[in-house]
Amino acid sequence: EGDFHALKAEQRLRVDFQSFPSQVAELLRRCCHAAADAGSTPAGGPAVGSAAGGGGGGGCGGAAPAEGGLRMLASLDCGASGESMLSIIEANQFRELTHIALKLRQGSDEVVKKHLAGKLRACRAECVGLTGQLQISEQALGHSRRQAEELGARVRVVAEERTRLEQTLEATHHRELAELRQEQASSSAERQRLTSEERRRIEEELRGSLEKALARASKAERTSEELHQQRESLAAARASLQERLETT
C-alpha cells in the first residue's frame, strides 16, 4: 500500500487503494474493446506504436484512431533484466496520453506456485460447492418429477371417474326417458282404447234410450276429465324428472 501512495503521488492518480484494481481492469477492458473494434474496421490504417518506444510486445493493443475518434492501447515493454513496463495509453489525433505506467517484475517460481496453488484451492472449493448445489438441485428435480407424476396419475383417475359418471348418468337419463315414453305411449293407447269402447257403448246405448245416453255421456265426460287430469299429472311428472336429470 505504501508503494501505491508513491505511485499515486508520482502519476497524480485520483483513485484510492481499494478501487485501484477495478479501475485498472476497466482500462484494460477498454483496450480490448478498442482492439476488437479495430479488427472489425477495414485494414490499411497505420498502427500505434508503444509509448516508450522500446522493444516490448503489446497486450490488447489498438489500431490508429479514426478521424475524430479515440483509441485505447495497452503496451508491455520487457527489459533484459526481467523488469517490464505496462502502459495504458489513450491515443487521439494529436497525441498519446498515458493513463498509467506500472513497473512489473518477474515473479519467482515459489511465488508463482503459491499463487497457482491458492487459485487451485479456490477452484476446488468452488467445485465442491457447485457439486453440492448440483446434487441438491437434482434431488429437488427428482422430487418435483415424482410429484408431477403423482398429480398426473390423480388427474387421470379423476378424468376416468368423471367419464364413467357421465356415461352412467347419460345411460340412466336415456333409460328413464325411454321408460317415460313407453309409459306415455301405453297410457295414450289405453286411453284411445277406452275411448273407442266407450264410444261404441254409448252409440249402442243411445239407440236404446236417450236418457240413459245422456247419463252415460255425463259419466263419460267425467271419466274424460279424470283421464285428462291424469295425463297432465303424468306430463308434470315427466317435466319434473327431466328437470332433475338436467340438474344432475
Q: Do the Cβ atoms of 24 and 86 come closer than 8 Å?
A: no
Res 70: pLDDT? 65
Sheet-wide strand order for 96-105: 71-78, 83-91, 96-105
Dihedral pair phi/psi, residue 64, rounded to 5°: -65, 145
First to last CA, the chain: 86
**DSSP for residue 48:** P
Instruction: Name residue, grid cell 403423482.
Output: 150
The count of C-alpha atoms lying within 13 angstroms of the C-alpha of 61, restricted to the half-sphere facing its C-beta, is 14
pLDDT at 213 (0 to 100): 61
Tell which residue, 219, 11, 221, has the closest CA to residue 97: 11
pLDDT at residue 93 in the model: 83
Q: Residue 101: what pLDDT?
A: 86
**How far, rounded to the nearest angstrom, does the alpha carbon of residue 106 sit from its chain's CA centroid?**
52
183 within 8 A of 234, measured Cβ to Cβ: yes
Please tell me whether residue 54 adopts helix, strand or coil conformation: coil
pLDDT at 39: 65
Note the pTM of the prediction, 2 decimals.
0.37
Measured CA to CA, the distance from residue 201 to residue 88 in angstroms comes to 129
Q: Name residue, grid cell 498502427.
A: 47
Dump the DSSP string for 77-137: EEPTTSEEEEEEEEE-SS-EEEEEEEEEEPPPHHHHHHHHHHHHHHHHHHHHHHHHHHHHH
List the chain pLDDT tens, one digit each, 248 residues.
Answer: 677 888 888 888 888 888 888 988 898 888 888 878 776 654 444 333 333 333 344 444 444 444 445 688 888 888 777 678 888 888 888 888 888 888 887 777 888 888 899 999 999 999 999 999 999 999 999 999 999 999 999 999 999 999 999 999 999 999 999 999 998 888 888 888 888 888 887 777 667 777 666 666 788 888 888 888 888 888 888 888 887 777 76
HSE of 135 in the Cβ direction (CA atoms, 13 Å)? 5
In this predicted structure, what is the pLDDT of residue 195?
87
Where are the alpha helices (H) located in the chain, listed in sequence order? Answer: 2-11, 20-40, 109-208, 210-247
